[in-house]
Amino acid sequence: MLVKGDFNYKEALTKSLIFLEAQRSGKLPSNNRVPWRGDSALDDGKLVNVDLAGGYYDAGDNVKYGLPMAFTVTTLAWGAIFYKPEFEAANELGNVHDAIRWGTDYFLKASSRHKRLYVEVGDPEDDHHCWAPPENMKTKRSVKMITSDIPGTEIAAETAAAMAASSIVFRPKDRKYARRLLNRAKLLHFEGQKNLETFKSHAESFICSVLPDSPYHQIKLSPGGFIHLRDGANTQYATGTSFLFTVYSDLLAKHNQKVTCGDKQFSSSHLLAFAKKQMDYILGNNPEGRSYMVGFGKNPPTQAHHRGASVSILKKGEEVVCALSFTQWFQKDEPNPNELTGAILGGPDINDKFNDKRWDSPKTEPCTYINSLAAGALAKLASLG
């Protein structure tokens, strides 16, 4: 089974990484590629006397959540390690490294206090009552942390994974920084069982549950063949499956193996074809005949559920009135004034129907981890020509 390209995957990869730049918090660098973004949340952490400026806003609001940020960085690092030649060929290795480091620099700050990890900045309830871009927000920037007395094993473990994986990324060109990341990861690390055969079994069980022609198929597909687990950022499951399938496909091909699902076997090219089908659906090969990546392909979304993209750049001295903000910007049935280039939105429902309305957040809100999972898959697809 040959897998050929139907879209400009290199362009999609480039734009996917530009979206991550639109999600940056803190002091932006001079090479910022998102012209409507500016510095924001420079005083984060001030309430607890720690510098927590930087990092990423994970979605369309202005809160910084530690777990999705760590997952975003972990999956970017995984892709950058596994598909390093593919990122290089697409001239995107430097950009993916920058995206990773924007997160790891923040994690070093968030873990700078002994036996503490700061895991959230911003008040979600307060933030969700004001529709303001991050540059103009006046909402509370409260801070949450975990300690031995306030546990959060999952967040600590994922943050450790992000820094450990990133240390591998940076080791060839900045050993000092890589060592710093690894040492900090060790302080947060929670030991787990290391059983590769168990991991292989889990991986193949998942694959067998997803493939529609597997006798153990469990995951729902839309009539158009798109993975659907829930309404609300559902595209994360498609980009995640695509990334995992491309990686596992390459591992199978390397070792001349197949996946066995009951009385059926599936080749590496079969897995790659399924991964490509999911990404192609997102990029425009779907019943609606439209792209779900902003600024890419045919009829892309124009009303991403995103504060920064939906509010025109305010004049100097102009302030946001939270009580009026939803009427002013959120409820306007008009395209966003700022293009959120590369953002993969939540996507259609189980029946392949999509509503490009800002207020329909399950369908139109972007998330960093949707794109971080897509990056590795797009790098692989771009390499196929």
SS3 string, 77-136, reads HHHHHHCHHHHHHCCCHHHHHHHHHHHHHHHHHHCCCCCCEEEEECCHHHHCCCCCCHHH
Question: 370: number of CA atoms within 13 Å, CB side?
Answer: 29
Active-site choice (97, 270, 305, 306) = 305
Q: pLDDT of 356-381, one tens digit each?
A: 999 999 999 999 999 999 999 999 99
Euclidean distance between CA atoms 72 and 56, whole angstroms: 9
Which of 3-17, 19-33, 196-210 has the lowest average pLDDT? 196-210
Euclidean distance between CA atoms 341 and 68, whole angstroms: 20
**Is 98 inside a domain boundary?**
yes
**Is 69 inside a domain boundary?**
yes
Euclidean distance between CA atoms 267 and 259, whole angstroms: 7
**Is 289 inside a domain boundary?**
yes
CB 274 within 8 A of CB 231: no
Euclidean distance between CA atoms 178 and 170, whole angstroms: 5
Compute the C-alpha angle 173/32/297, nearest 5°: 100
pLDDT at 1: 42
**Is 271 inside a domain boundary?**
yes
Compute the C-alpha angle 24/279/240, nearest 5°: 60
pLDDT above 90 for 317:
no
Its pTM surpasses 0.85: yes
CB 79 within 8 A of CB 379: yes
Compute the C-alpha angle 111/27/236, nearest 5°: 65
**Is 207 inside a domain boundary?**
yes
Amino acid at 213: D
- Residue predicted with more confidence, 151 or 109: 109
pLDDT at 189: 66
pLDDT above 60 for 176:
yes
Q: pLDDT of 201-252, one tens digit each?
A: 778 899 999 999 999 999 999 999 999 999 999 999 999 999 999 999 999 9
What lies within 8 Å, CB to CB, of 98 at 6+ separation is none
- Across the range 328-352, mean pLDDT stands at 98
Tell me the three state secondary structure of residue 238. Answer: helix
How long, in residues, is the chain?
A: 385
pLDDT at 192: 36
**Is 242 inside a domain boundary?**
yes
Amino acid at 376: G
Residue 266 host element (H or E): strand 264-266
Q: pLDDT of 177-197, one tens digit each?
A: 999 999 999 998 643 334 455
305 catalytic per annotation: yes
- CATH number for the domain that contains residue 62: 1.50.10.10
**Is 34 inside a domain boundary?**
no
Looking at every residue in the chain, the average pLDDT score rounds to 95
Q: pLDDT of 43-61, one tens digit each?
A: 999 999 999 999 999 999 9
Tell me the three state secondary structure of residue 232. Answer: coil
Q: Which domain holds residue 58?
A: 9-28+39-383
Number of domains in the chain: 1
**Is 225 inside a domain boundary?**
yes
